[in-house]
Amino acid sequence: MIFPNPVKDFLTIQSKENRELSYRIFSAAGELTGKGISIDKKINAEKLAPGNYVIELTDKDGNTSSSKFIKL
């Protein structure tokens, strides 16, 4: 789970796991617009253009989840 949604600057990941997560952010058109690793469960979304996005989170074991969010 991620919050806040909609987001202005930073997304926070709510997870039971305290591990680092890799992430990929896709635009509504399916274009990869960002990727990286989150160690502190925060992702900087300030540079994203306003719009709708999907974030894909992957843990060290390869488990993947995705969520939609709106960037203001």
The reported pLDDT for the residue numbered 37 is 95
pLDDT per position as a tens digit, 16-70: 777 889 999 999 999 999 999 998 899 999 999 999 999 999 988 999 999 999 9
Alpha-carbon gap, residue 21 to 18, rounded angstroms: 9
Here the tokens at position 27 are 């635009």
Angle at 62 between CA 24 and CA 5, to 5 degrees: 40
Residue 1 has a pLDDT of 86
At 60 the pLDDT is 87
Cβ(23)–Cβ(58) under 8 Å? Answer: yes
Question: Which residue segments constitute the domains of the chain, with CATH numbers given?
Answer: 2-71 (2.60.40)
Q: Are 9 and 20 in contact (CB under 8 A)?
A: no
Cβ atoms of 65 and 15 closer than 8 Å: no
